[in-house]
Amino acid sequence: MTLTKENTLPQKTILIVDDTPDNLAVLGELLMPYYKVRIANSGARALASAIIEPLPDLILLDIMMPGMDGYEVLKRLKETPDTREIPVIFITALDQTEDEKEGLALGAVDYISKPIRPPIILARIKGQLDIKEARDLLRDKNSWLENEVRRRIYQYQKVQDISMRALASLAETRDNETGNHILRTQGYVNVLAKELATLPEYSQSLTPALIEVYTKAAPLHDIGKVGIPDYVLHKPGKHTPEEWEIMKTHAKVGADAIWRAIQGEDDMEVVNFLCVAIDIAGNHHEKWDGSGYPNGLSGTYIPLSARLMALADVFDALISKRVYKPAFSMEKATEIILAGRGSHFDPDVVDAFITRADDFRTIAGRYADPHDE
């Protein structure tokens, strides 16, 4: 293929590195009709010129130079992120197999011996520039594809999160609560888990990935309320013992419903997520001292996710207005939480709450119900 001005891209820049002025002149005169030419007469100047914008598209590098030879220049180019992808062709009077082998091993793309034969060097330069252009195009397409995959995954996760909140809101709506309760308790669980993760005894188990699962599963904590009759769920006054027993079944109803959703599911990521949701829905009314429901679990027999949810749910109930009570102040709610340390709540979780009380206040304010603002 004949190289002409018409079939080359004039914006391509070639850096010529040689300590001999005559060689620079010959190569420069040969290449200037087709490319932008930049020259350097030493290794140090070559490195400085290689990082000037626009970066060279290709470097012609002499090996035998005083001070820093071509091999050392190539090593440093490959060590620098901005220049490591620039193709380098060695041009040298050396004609030994070992020299060529060393140059290629360091990352040179080609090796041309002097004296220069213009058609050969022009053809090899064009070939390497075509390869670089194709590689750059492929890298750009791969980058675009990676970004597109990330975007689709993000959209999918967003739809998942919204769908889950919508499902959880059905239960909350039946209980005359707002979707903001879901957002607040979700935020509280996230804050508590992150604080516990700073402690040595939790740092290995409470990974960022698990904290994210806890946070995303939190909205399903009261999903079982969809199975509670309206006359019990919406009763404005105190429940009778019989009604209270019905009310307490919402924990098991929720856990059983999620368990049924797992059946037949073969995606382990989904299964693991739903298992956490079961723990939260089925156990967030258990108490540290064993006096909770539905199973009377105590201490660390209660799943950690449920222990976090227990405090988050009670705190939000305390600071929220209900038909049977006004909204308590942050100070009053904190006093009640502290009183339940070691009885209702896991002591470590209470300590995490105290440490991050300001974050709880911020979340409560950000997602306040209209009548509580």
| CATH number of residue 217's parent domain | 1.10.3210.10
Q: In sequence order, which ranges of 297-370 are alpha helices (DSSP H)?
A: 304-319, 330-339, 347-355, 357-366
Q: What contacts 292, CB < 8 A, 6 or more positions away? A: 285, 286, 310, 344
Q: What contacts 222, CB < 8 A, 6 or more positions away? A: 168, 171, 172, 175, 250, 254, 281, 313
Query: Is 353 a member of any domain?
Result: yes
Query: Is 193 a member of any domain?
Result: yes
Pair 305, 236 in one domain: yes
Query: Is 57 a member of any domain?
Result: yes
At residue 281, the pLDDT reads 94
Residue 135: enclosing H or E segment and its boundaries? helix 118-174
- What's the mean pLDDT in 92-117? 76
Pair 137, 183 in one domain: no
The listed range with the strongest mean pLDDT (80-89, 128-137, 276-285) is 276-285
User: Binning pLDDT at 50, 70 and 90, where does residue 144 land?
Assistant: confident
Query: Is 207 a member of any domain?
Result: yes
Pair 137, 199 in one domain: no
Share of the chain above pLDDT 70, in %: 87
Q: Domain count of the chain?
A: 2
At residue 3, the pLDDT reads 53
- What's the mean pLDDT in 269-284? 91
CA dihedral 342, 345, 347, 352 (to 10 degrees): -160
At residue 373, the pLDDT reads 47
pLDDT digits (tens, 9 = 90+) for 7-42: 444 579 999 999 989 889 999 999 999 999 999 999
Q: Residue 48's domain spans which residues?
A: 13-144
- What's the mean pLDDT in 95-103? 68
Q: What contacts 250, CB < 8 A, 6 or more positions away? A: 222, 224, 225, 227, 228
Q: In sequence order, which ranges of 2-69 are alpha helices (DSSP H)?
A: 21-31, 43-50
Pair 182, 284 in one domain: yes
Rounded to whole angstroms, how far apart are CA atoms 233 and 225?
Answer: 8
Q: Report the CATH number at residue 93.
A: 3.40.50.2300
Query: Is 195 a member of any domain?
Result: yes
